[in-house]
């Protein structure tokens, strides 16, 4: 709209909003939560993070990533820069596994499943229920594939 058209009120139609607003459109009041007395509340318990995954699975994954760092060290350690990069990667892996370990240690709750129960019963994932072996393969595919790739790089370096 041009400024002249905007100033000239006769050039456009004005409409009263109240005249066209549906009478059935009402704002509902904001729902108020029911407040319990503090003495009547149940004790707060955190939901277990991974109740159907045993601690041994975390150990297997940690071992796979330790193997990856070892393969990196064997394949590429030659200069101070590569050693520095390997140390930084190793520190990230340590933090990657230490933080969940602390969370699981602080978590109160039930007993985790054993490794044999995990393999027998499997676990529920976002895509549905998986057998224990399939879930373990899904957890290990990245570190094992990366380790094999680093070993292949090391073979190429050693051969060249």
Residue 134: its pLDDT value, please? 92
- The H or E element that residue 124 is part of is strand 123-125
- Residue 66 CA: distances (Å) to CA of 35, 39, 51: 50, 49, 25
Residues 6+ apart with CB under 8 A from 101: 58
Confidence of residue 113 (pLDDT cuts 50, 70, 90): confident
Sort residue 128 into left (φ over 0), alpha (ψ -120 to 50) or beta: left
Asked if residues 125 and 50 have their Cβ atoms less than 8 Å apart, the reply is: no
pLDDT at 11 over 60: yes
pTM of the full structure: 0.66
Residue 88: its pLDDT value, please? 95
pLDDT at 32 over 90: no
Asked if residues 104 and 49 have their Cβ atoms less than 8 Å apart, the reply is: yes
pLDDT at 18 over 90: no
Residue 64: its pLDDT value, please? 95
Asked if residues 153 and 76 have their Cβ atoms less than 8 Å apart, the reply is: yes
> What is the spatial distance between Cα 58 and Cα 104, in angstroms, rounded to a whole number?
11
Asked if residues 68 and 146 have their Cβ atoms less than 8 Å apart, the reply is: yes
- The H or E element that residue 141 is part of is helix 132-159
Computed over every residue of the chain, the mean pLDDT equals 81
- What average pLDDT does this structure show over 77-105? 90
């Amino acid at each position: 709209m041009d400024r002249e058209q905007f100033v000239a009120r006769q050039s456009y139609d004005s409409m009263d909003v109240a005249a066209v607003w549906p009478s059935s459109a009402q704002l509902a009041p904001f729902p108020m939560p029911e407040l319990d007395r503090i003495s009547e509340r149940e004790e707060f318990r955190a939901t277990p993070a991974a109740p159907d995954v045993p601690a041994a699975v975390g150990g297997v994954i940690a071992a796979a990533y330790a193997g990856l760092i070892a393969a990196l060290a064997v394949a590429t350690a030659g200069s101070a820069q590569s050693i520095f990069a390997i140390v930084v990667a190793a520190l990230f892996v340590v933090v990657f596994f230490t933080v969940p370990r602390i969370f699981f240690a602080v978590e109160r709750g039930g007993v985790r499943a054993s490794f044999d129960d995990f393999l027998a019963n499997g676990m529920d994932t976002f895509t549905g229920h998986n057998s224990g072996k399939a879930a373990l393969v899904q957890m290990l595919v990245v570190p094992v594939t990366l380790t094999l790739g680093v070993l292949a790089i090391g073979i190429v370096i050693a051969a060249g």
